[in-house]
Amino acid sequence: MKKSLLPRSARRQINGWTMASVIGAAVVLLPILYVLTGLFRPANENWDKVKQFLLTDYILGSAKLVIFTGFFATFIGVVLAWLVVGYSFPLRRFYKWALVLPLAMPPYIAAYTYSSMTGYTGVIQATLRNRFDLVLPPGTIDVMSDRGAIFVLTLCLFPYIFMLTRVFLERQSASFIENARLLGHKPLSVFFRVVLPLARPAIMAGVMLVLFEVLSDFGVANYFGVQTVSTAIFQTWFGMYDVQSAMKLAAWLMVAVLGLFMLERLLRRSRRYASPTSRSNPLKPQPLKGIAAWGATLFCTLVFLLAFFFPIAQLVVWAIETGGTVWRSDFLDLTVNTLKGAGLGTAIVLLIAILSSRAARMFDSPFMQALTRLLSAGYAVPGAIVAIGVLAVFIALDEWLAPFYGMLGKEEGALVLSLSLAMLITGYVIRFMATGYGALEAGYEKMPKAYSEASRTLGRSSLATFFRVELPLLRGSLLSGFVLTFVEVVKELPLTMLLRPFNYDTLSTRAYQYATDERVFDAALPSLFLVLIGLISVLFILKAERS
């Protein structure tokens, strides 16, 4: 019975959508598969040395960073999200959006900024020394350490969890929470027994993003001297000149992350989160009074100051000091390049995310699940490794297309695709598929399948169903997917470095140019520009969300 049904249903489903999904998936998957081939490369003596001297320490280092950052970011993100949704207190309206702003700050810039601020010549110690003649014993403030890395990464990454959880709670939770309150649950009990379980998909989506960011981070760990798997990959590559072993290590990292993905999925499997009322009433926040209200304000303020205000204020001061020497007429070009790359990359990510999350919904099988996980795997490995996969595929593509180029009158062996912006954009798409896909998947998960099925049964085409039924319901998810991905691409560095065409600078590469030379002050101006673009896009989305 089933057997005879399959082909027909398959035939019905094979249309433009599936074709487009296959192409999109292929573009993303090939470079990832290329990286994964690293698993099967023969081990050489360097690989043995890596295993012998580095691996245990570095895995422990990564685990420590992931666990602590994950814990603190989840704690801060979820508590803040619940505070601003569930309660009213002074400045709540401001913090509802302001606490998303740290997203615009690239972690490695925050790392440089914090270490300089707290360092010997930084504003804190210098003021104490010069004004109050107070010399702090060395090591009093030690940002350049494991703890410092956890601190910086937590502050830069908690907004992922905050944002996704907040949006979810605002839209989906009202009836449950109000019922719980009516039934006499105490605030803590509401939080632990209703809010947490209810928001689990959103929280987990945020946590996953944070974990991947931490695992793939090279900038912060490298600068603070924290040994992680990512830094081990680069030590193998840059230090031992052994790309093969580096790729092998990256492939294993990818496998570990895919395992994590699957585990999370498995744990979530048995539960359903679709809510029949997609347009529920917003939750009415409970007013807080007295100490509780000020406590809430104080907590929000503290996080906001540390994660955003202090580093930005410091960058502004530096930018004013150095602006004259750093400002060049090409800042407009840098900005345009940054916007162009981020705009194109984000658009394609969302397109593929829609196609694949839709496909995953239609053919819900373990294979499809695995495939969609693989699509997001680029987020978890360092950008430079993704870049190698992209480079390999594009150069192969150019070789393969060489006869065709010949017909167009190009010289023999010309590289066309791999010298174009298309290569970099593809890199962005692969690296940041996860942010777009995660948002869309969550959006579809909230939407009962019956809606689309009813529309199809009533004779609407797949396309019409998408535009008339699904898209309006997905609007919120699309917006958050857009902003998360856009801001990521704006901040992106290693892929851009390795895949860019000639004479293509972005704000991020300009900031790096100074920061890598330990000229933190000079890096302030391009960094501020970069943060500003991120801010504008975040604010734009928040506005769109409200209307």
Q: Distance from CA of residue 34 to its chain's centroid?
A: 22
Q: Does 393 bind another protein (CB under 8 A)?
A: yes
Nearest residue to 163 via CA among 538, 540, 546: 538
**What is the C-alpha to C-alpha distance for residues 44 and 398, in angstroms, rounded to an integer?**
30
- 84 Cβ contact list (under 8 Å, min separation 6): 92, 95, 96, 99, 166, 300
Judged by CB under 8 A, which stretch of 206-214, 237-245, 365-373, 460-468 contacts another protein?
A: 237-245
DSSP symbol at 410: P
Instruction: Report the residue number, 145 or 281, with the smaller CB distance to another protein.
Output: 145
Q: Does 62 bind another protein (CB under 8 A)?
A: no
Q: Does 410 bind another protein (CB under 8 A)?
A: yes
Judged by CB under 8 A, which stretch of 20-28, 98-106, 167-175, 539-547 contacts another protein?
A: 20-28
Instruction: Report the residue number, 59 or 397, with the smaller CB distance to another protein.
Output: 397
Q: Does 371 bind another protein (CB under 8 A)?
A: no
**What is the C-alpha to C-alpha distance for residues 322 and 331, in angstroms, rounded to an integer?**
15
Instruction: Report the residue number, 165 or 222, with the smaller CB distance to another protein.
Output: 222
Q: Does 293 bind another protein (CB under 8 A)?
A: no
Query: Are 474 and 447 in contact, with CB atoms under 8 Å apart?
Result: yes
Q: How far is the CB of 58 from another protein (least distance, A)?
A: 11
Tokens encoding 255: 């496998």
Query: Are 158 and 307 in contact, with CB atoms under 8 Å apart?
Result: yes
**What is the C-alpha to C-alpha distance for residues 256 and 373, in angstroms, rounded to an integer?**
12
Footprint (CB under 8 A) of another protein, residues 172-211: none
Query: Are 221 and 58 in contact, with CB atoms under 8 Å apart?
Result: no
**What is the C-alpha to C-alpha distance for residues 325 and 334, in angstroms, rounded to an integer?**
17
Q: Does 119 bind another protein (CB under 8 A)?
A: yes
Q: How far is the CB of 213 from another protein (least distance, A)?
A: 21
Residue of 9, 13, 277, 325 that binds another protein (CB under 8 A): 325
**What is the C-alpha to C-alpha distance for residues 314 and 200, in angstroms, rounded to an integer?**
36
Tokens encoding 161: 């969890």
Judged by CB under 8 A, which stretch of 264-272, 284-292, 395-403, 537-545 contacts another protein?
A: 395-403
Helix (H, G, I), strand (E, B) or coil at 87: strand
Residue of 59, 91, 128, 351 that binds another protein (CB under 8 A): 351
Residue of 225, 259, 287, 295 that binds another protein (CB under 8 A): 225
Residue of 156, 233, 384, 511 that binds another protein (CB under 8 A): 384
Q: Does 462 bind another protein (CB under 8 A)?
A: no
Torsion of CA 233, 236, 241, 243, to 10 degrees: -40
Q: Does 469 bind another protein (CB under 8 A)?
A: no
Residue of 440, 500, 506, 526 that binds another protein (CB under 8 A): 500
x/- mask, another protein, residues 296-315, rule CB under 8 A, reads --------------------
Q: Does 344 bind another protein (CB under 8 A)?
A: yes
Query: Are 175 and 198 in contact, with CB atoms under 8 Å apart?
Result: no
Encoded amino acid at 19, one letter: M
E-state strands within 153-221: none
**What is the C-alpha to C-alpha distance for residues 338 and 323, in angstroms, rounded to an integer?**
20
Instruction: Report the residue number, 22 or 255, with the smaller CB distance to another protein.
Output: 22
Residue of 81, 440, 498, 530 that binds another protein (CB under 8 A): 498
Judged by CB under 8 A, which stretch of 81-89, 118-126, 297-305, 481-489 contacts another protein?
A: 118-126
**What is the C-alpha to C-alpha distance for residues 352 and 358, in angstroms, rounded to an integer?**
10
Judged by CB under 8 A, which stretch of 184-192, 198-206, 227-235, 447-455 contacts another protein?
A: 227-235
x/- mask, another protein, residues 21-40, rule CB under 8 A, reads -xxx-xx--x--xx--x--x
Q: Does 64 bind another protein (CB under 8 A)?
A: no
Footprint (CB under 8 A) of another protein, residues 414-453: 414-422, 425
What DSSP line would sit under 94-147, residue for residue? Answer: HHHHHTTGGGGS-HHHHHHHHHHHHSTTSHHHHHHHHHH---PPTTSS--SSHH
Residue of 519, 539, 540, 544 that binds another protein (CB under 8 A): 519
Residue of 365, 457, 503, 547 that binds another protein (CB under 8 A): 503
Tokens encoding 51: 């295993």
Helix (H, G, I), strand (E, B) or coil at 513: helix
Q: Does 16 bind another protein (CB under 8 A)?
A: yes
Residue of 66, 214, 250, 348 that binds another protein (CB under 8 A): 348
CA distances from 52 to 46, 47, 58, 232 (A): 10, 8, 11, 12
Binding residue count for another protein, defined by CB under 8 A: 92
Residue of 170, 213, 217, 398 that binds another protein (CB under 8 A): 398
Instruction: Report the residue number, 240 or 544, with the smaller CB distance to another protein.
Output: 240
Q: How far is the CB of 243 from another protein (least distance, A)?
A: 6
**What is the C-alpha to C-alpha distance for residues 250 and 256, in angstroms, rounded to an integer?**
10
Buried b or exposed e, range 480-495, using 16+ CB within 10 angstroms: bbbbbbbbbbbbbbbb
Instruction: Report the residue number, 36 or 533, with the smaller CB distance to another protein.
Output: 36
Q: How far is the CB of 53 from another protein (least distance, A)?
A: 4
503 torsion bin: left (phi>0), alpha (psi -120 to 50), beta (else): left
Query: Are 507 and 334 in contact, with CB atoms under 8 Å apart?
Result: yes
Q: How far is the CB of 514 from another protein (least distance, A)?
A: 8
Judged by CB under 8 A, which stretch of 255-263, 356-364, 476-484, 519-527 contacts another protein?
A: 519-527
Q: Does 223 bind another protein (CB under 8 A)?
A: yes
